[in-house]
Structure 1
Amino acid sequence: IRYIHQDNAGPSAARNCGVAAADSGFIAFLDADDRWTPDKIKRQLRAMESHPQAALVAGDMQEIDKDDAVLTPSVLAKHDILKFFQDLAGAPIPDAFALLMHINFVPTGTVLVRKAAFDDTGGFCADIRYGEDLEVWARIASQHPIVCLPEVLMLRRQHGQNATQNTGPLLEDLVKVTKSVRNWGGPKLRDQGLDPNRLVAEALWELGYWHFTREQLTEARHKFGESLREKFTGRSLLFASAA
């Protein structure tokens, strides 16, 4: 075990520093408040051996409280995609890039990724605090086969201090991520059946709705208007008028 200290520069800088110091062919991530299942890495290495072309293996996770009580037995089931991955039985995911941008099924704490594939992405963007991991996994999924095991590999602790509870900044950064992904991956998303403009429009709508529910109507109107300019939808028009 090597301990590396650096000034707090956010999760992206910390993870990039750890990856740069690693000399293994595989990389895995674990935040301080989460836990892996005992055989997580073993199961993922077995999947890599079965599918040597795969660059990344993720998996299911449970959500637990501060006392280790299970809040969510399966996050994949919570999002109605567990059966899809069970049917794949550990095989590479068809059109994984578009699926990942439609619904993020890759919790970073479940990831085992080939270091070479990770390095090719350029690492996590330090300018984005929330959703920076989604863009990296999307870059990998756009270039390589990836796998998601329908098995719980991680226990994620839910409490008020989780970074991803900070909804407003998270939604703002997800808009940045979807715009970035559209810039470099738009044609491939279209090839896989996902409209990148709609992807950006939906992220803007979610941010607008967050402002709307807090009666921040000027900000909400602005985001709904941006959403309409990206892709016209009745939902955005309705809320833009209401705001």
Structure 2
Amino acid sequence: MTTISVIIPAYNAERTILETIKSVLQQTFSDFELIVINDGSTDRTLELLKTIEDSRLKIFSYSNAGLSVARNRGISHATGEFMAFLDADDLWTPDKLELQLAALQKHPEAGLAYSWTLNMSETAEIFHPGHNVVYEGNVYDKLLLSNFISNGSNPLIRKQAIESAGEFDPTLSSVEDWDYWFRVAQHWDFAVVPKPQILYRHSSKSMSTKVEKMEKYLLIVLERGFQAAPPELQNLRNQSLANIYQYLTGMELAHVTNREQVNQAGRKLWKTVSLYPQILRERVTQRYLMKWLVMQVLSPRIAKYLTRPFSLARSVAVPRLQ
């Protein structure tokens, strides 16, 4: 039996798939199988995959069915004792699998190990850190407050935890990973590798509709999370909702192009503070408020330039990739 199954869903990923796979093949831990689910690609994805010569690579092609179904199809082919998912445009540092596997072996009660994420621009030229937390053990209350794992390319999961959580929900076309972590956390502890090991690529595609879509599915998944939560955690609901609207405010402010979008961001910011007034103490909320106020006076383009966070500078350290 293989130790780790790495599952990569790929749909029209010709621009990034080879770089992504390279980051897997360069892992310091080598006992893995690499399962790529070609999810009905119509570009050169499959052609490029066939140029890779490595016995660990297994390619399965299906008609397009979406990310969740592709991950589920990957699970059905997996033979590993542990499983890791990687989106076709994200990257791993070389020690990602080695250190996460060590964390799970050190904590047999843990079903999932996660690391820290480094966010990168679409062209992989600008980098900024994610939220670096060290939550371990029973993390259900922390998950209710935020998806601190950040993305689906992050964790390594025991096969037994996969079996207890079931499949990814294909009815969710966004934040399906957060929904899955909730289901794992109902039965298993989590372990952490306190090191940035995932490079998550942010795409600028369809930003005009992304906020509305995100809001819909974030609220669905959060409601599911609270339905499964014990009574003593129900008092976190307003804070959880405020965190969601704080996040959506940031998305709105980052991509505004006209006055109506500025007003829309303001409505989400007001909802954030109304749900949980203490959130005004957070620097993130204060920064969004300042940015929104500047946009009330200046054009969105000028305001975005003047309030651009310094944290997006290229000087942020990037983990070694090769």
TM-score interval w.r.t. the shorter chain? Answer: 0.7 to 0.9
Match in the other structure for 1:179: 223
Task: Tell me the TM-score normalized by structure 2.
Answer: 0.56
User: RCO greater where, 1 or 2, for CA within 8 Å and sep 6 or more?
Assistant: 1
- The answer to whether residue 112 in structure 2 is matched with residue 56 in structure 1 is yes
SS in 1 for 2:216: helix
Which 5+ residue runs of structure 1 have no aligned equivalent? 86-91, 236-243
Amino acid at match of 2:240: L
Of 61, 82, 88, 1:32 maps to 88
Q: CA deviation at 1:168?
A: 1.2
Amino acid at match of 1:11: L
Deviations 1:11-49 (A, max 9, x none): 111111111211111110111111111111011111111
- The answer to whether residue 158 in structure 2 is matched with residue 103 in structure 1 is no
Amino acid at match of 1:76: H
Structure whose residues are more often helix by fraction: 1
Contact 2:120 2:202 in 1 (8 A): yes
- The answer to whether residue 190 in structure 2 is matched with residue 135 in structure 1 is no
Question: Aligned ranges for residues 147-162 of structure 1 at < 5 Å?
Answer: 147-161=191-205
Contact 1:66 1:159 in 2 (8 A): yes
Task: Tell me the TM-score normalized by structure 1.
Answer: 0.72
Structure whose residues are more often strand by fraction: 2
Q: CA deviation at 1:205?
A: 8.8
Q: Which moved more, 1:154-163 or 1:52-61?
A: 154-163
Question: Aligned ranges for residues 230-241 of structure 1 at < 5 Å?
Answer: none
- The answer to whether residue 73 in structure 2 is matched with residue 17 in structure 1 is yes
Question: Aligned ranges for residues 165-176 of structure 1 at < 5 Å?
Answer: 166-176=210-220
Residues 1:135 and 1:188: Cα distance change in structure 2 (over 3 Å): farther
Of 231, 236, 247, 1:195 maps to 236
| Distance in structure 2 (CA, Å) of the matches to 1:233 and 1:64 | 30
| Distance in structure 1 (CA, Å) of the matches to 2:98 and 2:77 | 22
Give the aligned CA root-mean-square deviation in angstroms. 3.4
Contact 1:63 1:156 in 2 (8 A): yes
Residues 1:5 and 1:203: Cα distance change in structure 2 (over 3 Å): same
Match in the other structure for 1:241: none
Which 5+ residue runs of structure 2 have no aligned equivalent? 1-56, 253-259, 279-322
Q: Which moved more, 1:17-26 or 1:196-205?
A: 196-205
Residues 1:205 and 1:60: Cα distance change in structure 2 (over 3 Å): closer
Deviations 1:58-98 (A, max 9, x none): 111212234432421x2124xxx4xxx2xxxxxx7154111
Match in the other structure for 1:3: 59
Of 142, 156, 165, 1:112 maps to 156
Match in the other structure for 1:76: 131
Alignment identity in percent? 26
Amino acid at match of 2:146: I
Contact 1:96 1:145 in 2 (8 A): yes
Contact 2:110 2:137 in 1 (8 A): no
Question: Aligned ranges for residues 37-48 of structure 1 at < 5 Å?
Answer: 37-48=93-104
Residues 1:25 and 1:178: Cα distance change in structure 2 (over 3 Å): same
Contact 1:124 1:132 in 2 (8 A): yes
SS in 2 for 1:155: strand
| Distance in structure 2 (CA, Å) of the matches to 1:162 and 1:115 | 35
Deviations 1:113-154 (A, max 9, x none): 012212211221111111111011112123211012211111
Query: Which protein shows a greater Rg?
Result: 2
Match in the other structure for 1:89: none
Residues 1:153 and 1:6: Cα distance change in structure 2 (over 3 Å): same
May I ask how many residue pairs the two structures share in their alignment? 211
